[in-house]
Amino acid sequence: MPGPAAYDASSASEQPVTLPDAPTRRINEALSIQPPLSRRGHGPGLVLFLSNETSSAGGDKPLDPEPVQKWAEEGFAVAFVTVYPTIDVQQILAEAARALIDLGDTLDISDKFGVIVYDTNCLQEVVESVKHDERFTCVVGFGGGEDKPESSKPLLLNTTQLQSRVISAPHVEIHEYPVASPHFVIPTSGAYDPGSAALAHTRTLVFLRKHVGGPHFDLEVIWDEHTYFEFEARSVAKTMGTMVAEPYVNHIPTMTGGVGRENLTRFYRDHFIFSNPADARLQVVSRTVGPDRVSLCTDEFVYHITHDRQVDWLLPGVPATHKKLSIPMMAVVNIRGDRLYNEHIWWDQATALKQAGLLQEYISFPTPEGSGKVLRLPVAGVESAAMLLDESKGRSNEMLGEGWGMVDKKDS
């Protein structure tokens, strides 16, 4: 059954989808517990040591959440410690393990915990303390590269340029980032660097899953569910229900989409889901799932429609041309836990315009030879989609021939 043609707030399919909302529990002055913020609702345990010395960035707050929420959205049960000068690291680790175990069925694995240290001042003490408890299987540190690290358990160090003199040691994996402060992963820090933070997060997630044993999610199922609600069921509420608390989408050629839940919900409702023609379909050509199936899914596909209405996100402001369009596209999808975090969608806007009959094939172009020639634009039409789907359905290098580029007016 085809989905609805227009948004109806009263329909069953548009009733709000409840987002994961497990409350934080305070254990003592230094320790608190955040259960998983995934749809699954249970996962392995993780202990965070958080610095209380992070400087504020000021200005607009990034969409990236703070570490506790971010790791809970990844599907971990998070015990988090605010570090103060007199803290007993070994004791607080034991308390964190007990608090995680007390979660019962919310905790998947009771004999393996990971540790992430965001406070460089206590990294060495944490590394030393986990030696005495077999349940702590690995440690991740940010900064801490001034001295050669020694660890009896797997240790991942995300270091800054200032700490690049560090030398690899047994059980130690080291990655350097082009930043000056170890707080580059903290969104509220003045040193926050979104690109380096994203890369460090992915590497940390791969490391944790390897040594803790999870959590694992089927990224293809999550992505297919999302596109089903977009293009078949056509439900704004259910589409947004597949996404984290504050997601974003960016269609690169037209800069359409939305940053944050409120803006993205409005975009899906007013400019995307019901803007797609009734015959819209996605034909997947290839799919690549990220390293260790962690968080990235890349689709190469063809978007097929009859342009019988204004498709706001594809051709903003363009009335219906009633042309058949087949647009090669690529989607890079980041998934956090069992929900989407962001989508970057690419396509060649020139072929979209050409297929819609809106792009001239020949244009005037000043040349020393005078006005006897025109420029034939190097833009392919529907044939580009045909060759993507089947390499035998097109010919390579035709645009390198004499019929392209500067040609005589009489041949145009």
Query: pLDDT by residue (tens digit) across 386-398?
Result: 999 999 999 999 9
* 108 shares its domain with 155: yes
Q: Does the residue 6 lie in any domain?
A: no
Query: pLDDT by residue (tens digit) across 209-250?
Result: 999 998 999 999 999 999 999 999 999 999 999 999 999 999
Does the N-terminal peptide bond of residue 215 adopt cis geometry, omega within 30 degrees of 0?
yes
Q: How far is CA 310 from CA 17, 34, 253, in A?
A: 29, 45, 17
Confidence of residue 84 (pLDDT cuts 50, 70, 90): confident
Among 330, 355, 380, identify where a domain stops: 355
Q: How many domains does the chain have?
A: 3
* 391 shares its domain with 342: no
- Model pLDDT, residue 120: 86
Among 212, 243, 262, identify where a domain stops: 212
Q: How far is CA 37 from CA 315, 383, 393, in A?
A: 37, 45, 47
Q: What is the mean pLDDT of the chain?
A: 92
Query: pLDDT by residue (tens digit) across 28-52?
Result: 999 999 999 999 999 999 999 998 7
* 254 shares its domain with 284: yes
Q: How far is CA 318 from CA 96, 307, 363, in A?
A: 58, 10, 21
* 163 shares its domain with 205: yes
**DSSP element (H, E) containing 325:** strand 324-336
- Residue 282 buriedness (CB in 10 A; 0-12 / 13-18 / 19+): middle
> CATH no. for residue 164?
3.40.50.1820
- Residue 14 buriedness (CB in 10 A; 0-12 / 13-18 / 19+): middle
Give the residue numbers spanning the domain of 169.
Answer: 12-212
Predicted TM-score (pTM) above 0.85: yes
Confidence of residue 100 (pLDDT cuts 50, 70, 90): very high
* 74 shares its domain with 126: yes
Tell me the backbone φ, ψ of residue 152, rounded to 5 degrees. Answer: -90, -10
Among 212, 227, 258, identify where a domain stops: 212
C-alpha angle with apex 331: 15 to 287, nearest 5 degrees?
105
- Model pLDDT, residue 61: 74
